Structure 1
Amino acid sequence: MTALNENPSRWIRRFHPADDAAVRLVCLPHAGGSATAFFPFSRAAAETGLDADVIAVQYPGRQDRRDEPCFDDFAAMADVIADDLGAWADRPVALFGHSMGATLGYEVARRLQARGEPPLGLFASACPAPSVPRTEDVHRLDDNGLLAALKEISGTESAFFGDDELLRMVLPAIRGDYTAVETYRHEPGRELGCPVHVLLGAEDPVVDLTEAEAWRAHTTGGCAVEVLPGGHFYLDARLDIVLTGVAHRLRGWREAALAPVPGPMSRV
């Protein structure tokens, strides 16, 4: 495992380097989450031989970045992440975002596309489409209300709720993330040209199938929706199935990107 303080990037953590992998897979965590949320994903990817170098985004306000101010605006955060990914663009990039990370990944993908560096594709996990109106106001609740909302979606292990010191440390980051999610408003235009693969837990209390299907309107590159057993954090128990699907999609996206563009028909 690469130590966090040995990585030259403030935003990127690389737990299981795969220097010869064909693709760079950038993982963006859920609200309140940190890069280590994707450590099991990264480890399983390395163990199964996924042909991708898995890196995870570390948001400010938590873990080794806990002394930095949190972001509460997707546009500002997407700008910085897209800029930081320039140092990791030595191979094709794909994005995997879970919950809040999916919307943020969409905004990062838009920025990469605008600068002529479109990603191979976006995995949007457990998240409504960007155009789905957000009516929640969790970020305005007091600390007890915010924690109750977290418990409802089972987003944090029970040990977390029993550690008052830890709670006090991470609540500002959680509130900042929820503010970003709940104040986000999609700006039409500049939709993606890359494919989007949507993953959804069948028992997810936060996202329904209609909201997941709405991702189809956000790309001209094709969109598939896959429903898996489990709730909002289905990923924790379904890593094997998810990684098999990710490997299949990445191969297809890379082959499509390498395929020659048909030229004009020659005249005989």
Structure 2
Amino acid sequence: MNPPVDDDRWIRRFDPRPDAGVRLVCLPHAGGSASFFLPVARAMPPSVDVLCVQYPGRQDRRTEPLLDTVPDLADQVAAALLPWTDRPLAFFGHSLGATLAFEVARRLEREKGLVAAALFASGRRAPSTHRTETVHLRDDDGLIAEMRGLSGTDARLLGDEEILRMILPATRADYRAAETYVYEPGEALRCPLVALVGDDDPKVTVDEAAAWADHTEDRFDLRVFPGGHFYLADHQAAVIKVMTERLTAP
């Protein structure tokens, strides 16, 4: 298979590793963009090629129609990744991205027989657990308050009214996707699964993260870090170490 062309709307490859044995697909949180994972792309060893997913409605895709359901997003991401399956794919998703990574991995395994090298689910409860959440129904001020409370958005953006109003529609669509997601029971994944969570995360408890164990037939690990929903901002090196060790293990 020829190397994939780096012009797909969905995929950003910030630091190509042409000789890597595995590709790590990174999926952002609600309101996030592919560039959130630029530090990950630069920090991974040469043996791991990082692909960062760019959802529609933000940055260079800001004029495109939004997608506000996990199934629609998962269908599109899975299709966009097919040209990249000349190497095994692993997945890292944070918050909404974790649910989406799970659904993409399910589709590739079920429909294409492609078992992921690993799934790293960060800052998100297991698909089989449920909370009633309605952030996507709040007015703009309520949505902004949520964003400020979770500390996942650059404070400079939150202070710029013009930019803020520009990113709100995409953020609301992402919240709608995350909060209206309904898990459809099915076969567990056949790949190793690692759940990562902050011990003070208001969006997911440690027990809800531990329930990811029910979604794999392979090895499961739970890693708990000090911090809230965006614990990984303070523990980037440790999170990268977890992924590197799993992806480079013999």
TM-score bucket of the superposed structures, by smaller chain:
over 0.9
Alignment equivalent of 2:87, drawn from 82, 85, 91: 91
2:27 is the counterpart of 1:31: no
2:67 is the counterpart of 1:71: yes
2:188 is the counterpart of 1:186: no
Contact 1:51 1:247 in 2 (8 A): no
2:156 is the counterpart of 1:143: no
What amino acid does structure 2 have at the position aligned with 1:19? P
Taking the aligned partners of 1:193 and 1:36, their CA distance within structure 2 comes to: 30
- Residue in 1 aligned with 2:9? 10
Q: CA RMSD in A?
A: 1.2
- Residue in 1 aligned with 2:41? 42
Contact 1:153 1:206 in 2 (8 A): no
Contact 1:196 1:223 in 2 (8 A): yes
- Residue in 1 aligned with 2:245? 248
Q: TM-score, normalised by structure 2?
A: 0.95
Aligned-partner SS, 1:10: coil
Aligned-partner SS, 1:245: helix
After superposition, the C-alpha distances for 1:211-250 in whole angstroms (9 at most, x for unaligned) are 0011011111121100112221111121111111111111
Aligned-partner SS, 1:15: coil
Aligned-partner SS, 1:17: coil
- Residue in 2 aligned with 1:111? 107
Contact 2:19 2:46 in 1 (8 A): no
What amino acid does structure 2 have at the position aligned with 1:148? A
Correspondences of 1:160-199 after superposition (within 5 Å):
160-199=157-196
Aligned-partner SS, 2:63: coil
Taking the aligned partners of 1:103 and 1:50, their CA distance within structure 2 comes to: 27
What amino acid does structure 1 have at the position aligned with 2:189? L
Contact 1:44 1:239 in 2 (8 A): no
What amino acid does structure 1 have at the position aligned with 2:6? N
Question: How many residue pairs align between the two structures?
Answer: 245
Taking the aligned partners of 2:54 and 2:187, their CA distance within structure 1 comes to: 26
Contact 1:50 1:247 in 2 (8 A): no
Contact 1:129 1:212 in 2 (8 A): yes
Aligned-partner SS, 1:31: coil
2:121 is the counterpart of 1:153: no
1:202: how far off? Answer: 1.7
User: Larger deviation: 171-180 or 230-239?
Assistant: 230-239
After superposition, the C-alpha distances for 1:9-48 in whole angstroms (9 at most, x for unaligned) are 1100000011111110000000000000101111222xxx
1:251: how far off? Answer: 2.3
Gaps of at least 5 residues in structure 1 are 1-5, 256-268
What amino acid does structure 1 have at the position aligned with 2:39? P
What amino acid does structure 2 have at the position aligned with 1:222? R
Contact 2:17 2:46 in 1 (8 A): no
1:190: how far off? Answer: 2.8
Alignment equivalent of 1:61, drawn from 57, 61, 73: 57
Taking the aligned partners of 1:34 and 1:188, their CA distance within structure 2 comes to: 29
Taking the aligned partners of 1:188 and 1:74, their CA distance within structure 2 comes to: 15
Taking the aligned partners of 1:153 and 1:239, their CA distance within structure 2 comes to: 17
Q: Which runs of 4+ in 1 moved over 4 A?
A: none
- Residue in 2 aligned with 1:130? 127
Taking the aligned partners of 1:171 and 1:57, their CA distance within structure 2 comes to: 19
Aligned-partner SS, 2:156: helix
User: Larger deviation: 232-241 or 122-131?
Assistant: 232-241
Aligned-partner SS, 2:92: strand
Gaps of at least 5 residues in structure 2 are none
Taking the aligned partners of 1:206 and 1:153, their CA distance within structure 2 comes to: 9
Taking the aligned partners of 2:131 and 2:69, their CA distance within structure 1 comes to: 15
Q: TM-score, normalised by structure 1?
A: 0.89
